[in-house]
Amino acid sequence: MSKLILTRHGQSVWNAENRFTGWVDADLSKKGISEAQKSGHLIKNLNINLDISYTSYLKRAIKTLTTILQENGIELKFITSWELNERHYGSLTGLNKEETKKKIGEEQFKKYRRSWDISPPPMKEDDKNHSLFSPLNANIPLGMIPFTESLKNTYERVIPYYQKEIQKHIKENKNILVSAHGNSLRALCKYLFKISDEKINKLEIPTGNPLMIEFDNDLKINKYYYLDETRAKTIIFNQ
């Protein structure tokens, strides 16, 4: 039986400042480091082998992963992929969320944040935040870097990558760890749990609390649960 563990990175510095972060390569805050360590402890308590690990091009996810691996005494070998990056927030990148809500109104704010297929206005080519993106982005194929994304756009890069690169290891009964982001993990959970376009806006992915998903030999989900039950969020299944 294969196990897939999904963990959202710990709080970043920009998370703490309540800013739209997206593709900006913000580092973990002190709280984020602590959350990553807690994730590592929770996984260690499972007493299982982790065969392969994946993360994005963003340091907050990479540091969360390396912290978890160190807590478990595992060699720092893992696969990075831009397809697992956080959703690109376009021209909202860097803006304070509360100030933005007041400026554009709560209804439009919710559409940008939680709708399935509505993207914020694109980031301009001369936006200063481009300089804050990960240097690993230089490895992204020409023309593939977005200027804004909806959750649907994020889904359209996450799921093909999962199907091509990660799912094969599940078929081999490997135990897999993915350290990624709120929206890239929401996209993956939408696919795995068959969540409808209308219901996906209700799915919350907590920080510092890994989600365990166990598959049977037919790649069907046999069991799923958060490792810290006291901070678990509701998983929407097939709705």
CATH number at residue 10: 3.40.50.1240
Count of domains for the chain? 1
What confidence tier does 235 reach under pLDDT thresholds 50, 70, 90?
confident
CB 72 within 8 Å of CB 40: yes
What average pLDDT does this structure show over 27-49?
96
Residue 81 maps to a domain: yes
What confidence tier does 239 reach under pLDDT thresholds 50, 70, 90?
low
Domain span at residue 20 reads: 3-231
What average pLDDT does this structure show over 45-51?
94
Average of per-residue pLDDT values in the chain: 95
pLDDT at 162: 98
Residue 120 maps to a domain: yes
Share of the chain above pLDDT 90, in %: 90
Residue 105 maps to a domain: yes
* pLDDT score of 236 more than 80: no
What average pLDDT does this structure show over 217-221?
89
Structure confidence by residue, pLDDT tens digits, 54-111: 999 999 999 999 999 999 999 999 999 999 999 999 999 999 999 999 999 999 999 9
What confidence tier does 218 reach under pLDDT thresholds 50, 70, 90?
confident
The whole-model pTM stands at 0.95
Catalytic residue check, 9: yes
pLDDT at 217: 85
Residue 237 maps to a domain: no
pLDDT at 92: 97
Structure confidence by residue, pLDDT tens digits, 173-214: 999 999 999 999 999 999 999 999 999 999 989 998 999 999
Catalytic residue check, 86: yes
pLDDT at 1: 82
- Choosing from 9, 83, 88, 181, which is the catalytic residue? 9
* pLDDT score of 140 more than 70: yes
* pLDDT score of 219 more than 60: yes
Residue 239 maps to a domain: no
**Reduced 3-state DSSP string for the chain:** CCEEEEEECCCEHHHHCCECCCCECCCECHHHHHHHHHHHHHHHCCCCCCCEEEECCCHHHHHHHHHHHHHCCCCCCCEECHHHCCCCCHHHCCCEHHHHHHHHCHHHHHHHHHCCCCCCCCCCCCCHHHHHECHHHHHCCCCCCCCCCCHHHHHHHHHHHHHHHHHHHHHCCCEEEEEECHHHHHHHHHHHCCCCCCCHHHCCCCECCCEEEEECCCCCEEEEEECCHHHCCCCCCCC
- Choosing from 86, 88, 149, 181, which is the catalytic residue? 86
What confidence tier does 234 reach under pLDDT thresholds 50, 70, 90?
confident
